[in-house]
Amino acid sequence: MLEQGTISIHTENIFPIIKKSLYSDHQIFLRELVSNAVDAIQKLKMVSRAGEYAGEVEEPEIVLAIDKDKKTLSITDNGIGMTAEEVKKYINQVAFSSAEEFIHKYQGKADQPIIGHFGLGFYSSFMVASKVEIDTLSYQEGAQAVHWTCDGSPEFTLEESSRTTRGTTITLTLLADEEEYLESARVKNLVKTYCDFMPVPIKLDGEVLNQQKAPWRESPSNLTKEDYLEFYRYLYPFQEEPLLWVHLNTDYPFIINGILYFPKMRPDVDVTKGQIKLFCNQVFVSDNCEEIIPQFLVPMRGVIDSTDIPLNVSRSALQGDRTVRKIGDYIAKKVGDRLKELYRDDREQYISAWKDLSTFVKFGVLNDEKFKKQVEDIIIFRSTAQNKANSETSSVQVQSSEEDAWQDVTPTPDSPTSASPYTTLKEYLERNKERHENRVFYSTDEATQATYIELHKNQGLEVLFLDSFIDTHFINFLEREYKDVKFTRVDSDLDNTLLDQDKAQEIVDPTTNKTKSEVIKELFEKSLNKPRVNIRTEALKSDDPQGTPPAIVLLPEFLRRMREMSAMMQQQNADFPEDHILLVNTAHPLIQNLVNLNQGTIIQGDGQTINPLANLICQHVYDLALMSQKGFDAEGMKSFVERSNEVLTKLTQQAST
């Protein structure tokens, strides 16, 4: 026996603390031991290149072995090995000293989970083992192999070994409640999870378990589109193809490599939960790294690998780290550069992906001033504008960056561009400055606001679609950025361009001097009997009055926004306001027929009456206008169906007599 002694530490109960407190997840012991084996192999390559080792350097490998009878799991490498002095230095002194310091710093802070614990890897083995053995032979000429044994107490033994092959074997005699690591399937799963991209073959029963090649460490010029897609499929099986990706590769002022993907945004995707995997030197660390990347990029997927991210710190400390903040800024800039590159070089793909990309971009613009400056000129909006050159073309029109021309873009089958062209806000304002300068008409729901959109389109007014969940906030941002521009939702009020002022003032009763508008207003007020509904009468301009709605509901912009903001602060859905405007279209044939139907029925004075059918039709017109703004509840729908049936019954009775 070469030596028998006591490990030089001050805290005699350090092993119980390691077993219970150092790591929250016992299974990472294999990651730590395999990482050390990879380091040993890399060190051998370094001394060989330096001419300090003249022996044969065989193909590197790490071999795992399970002995169920002895209840042991071993990890063997053909790396640099250790001498007796190195074992005493690196195993008995330095590491335990570091362990004591580490535990003293973090003991009692379970509420701040530690990310990595790198640097104490060897001693993680005592979480699962009752005894740990090291059998090692150094690369140094004439070195004596040694065998180190420790049973989890401060005592160890160090003796000569009969080992003849260079390298190191770590053998763990597993604790009774840790025997799951004697199962091959369990060990294979751990290798795939933590060690898949380590650059050395890891074998069990002759089978290589890991991928070895880390695509993010490759030069982008060496990777094809299929390489990127294949890596994404490997990381996230059974998912839709990503929209695009960003390759990170820099060694100054910090080292970071990685590939980040923009995923298709599905309804079941939690945009607050990160799915970017964190690696350190190709060793898996964590399933997410929300503290490292900017918040608006959290929904991205992929891999970040950096040796400059401090791992032996709490997550709260990580967020305040200066290097981490710089890395976050770098990632945001690279994402912005990639988006600008795509917008410039492949506008078709950019537009095709915009429906999903817009969530990232707009959230980033709202939260990051530097990112905002990068991408503010490539924020696009779907528009109702028509192609100037040929409105009948079947391709998609996208406004180019050159003046005010429109270029054709062939849509993909599932492309959101197949319905409307896209434009930037600056281009929209420039294109419409003569018709409605510094005025933006927008829609938040193409389906429910279809009537209003059509009214605007028919009079040549261009409408932008701001219909994603983030656009409620983004509109406020746009108004701050464009202080001279008024943003008007299509259902808040009607521009004078949409109204025929002459028709609205026709005189229908010379004796009372009442206009048609006044008669209609009075008729609806009495029929509806809703004091909080403001009845307005206007003639909507159209070449085909029958094609316009007989009435529409308007929600004043300011009041609607105040209501939505109040509901959001109270975390409630905004109820439909009882105070709203019913604009009755006096030019519609139905409204004109309604006036004729009721002629002579209204009795002036206190004993006034309304034609019963006219009364029902007024309510029905109001119901139809409401349906374009909100859905009915069960009772409301029941009443609507009953009134509709009653209207149809009376009309058929009248037609048959």
pLDDT tens readout for residues 145-156: 999 999 877 788
pLDDT in tens, 421-472: 999 999 999 999 888 889 999 999 898 888 899 989 988 899 999 988 888 8
313, 303 contact by CB (below 8 A): no
For 242-281, the DSSP string reads PSEEEEEEE-SSS-EEEEEEE----TT--TTS-EEEEEET
Cβ neighbours of residue 227 closer than 8 Å, sequence gap 6 or more: 215
pLDDT at 102: 46
Query: Residue with structure tokens 């903040």?
Result: 325
| pTM score of the predicted model | 0.77
pLDDT at 114: 39
pLDDT in tens, 125-164: 888 999 999 999 999 999 999 999 998 777 889 999 999 9
Low-confidence residues in the chain, pLDDT < 70: 5-24, 93-120, 266-274, 311-320, 386-420, 502-512, 564-574, 600-609
Question: Strand pairing partners for 141?
Answer: none
Residues 600 and 213: their CA atoms lie apart, in Å, by 89
> Would you call the peptide bond into 416 cis, given omega within 30 degrees of 0 as the criterion?
no
Question: Among residues of the chain, what percentage have pLDDT more than 90?
Answer: 42
561, 489 contact by CB (below 8 A): no
Cα-Cα-Cα-Cα torsion 278, 280, 283, 286, nearest 10 degrees, comes to -30
pLDDT at 503: 55
Residues 283 and 427: their CA atoms lie apart, in Å, by 48
pLDDT in tens, 1-22: 777 766 555 445 556 555 554 5
Cβ neighbours of residue 44 closer than 8 Å, sequence gap 6 or more: 53, 57, 78, 79, 80, 139, 166
Q: First and final CA of the chain: distance in angstroms?
A: 120
315, 376 contact by CB (below 8 A): no
pLDDT at 65: 98
Phi, psi of 488, rounded to the nearest 5 degrees: -130, 120
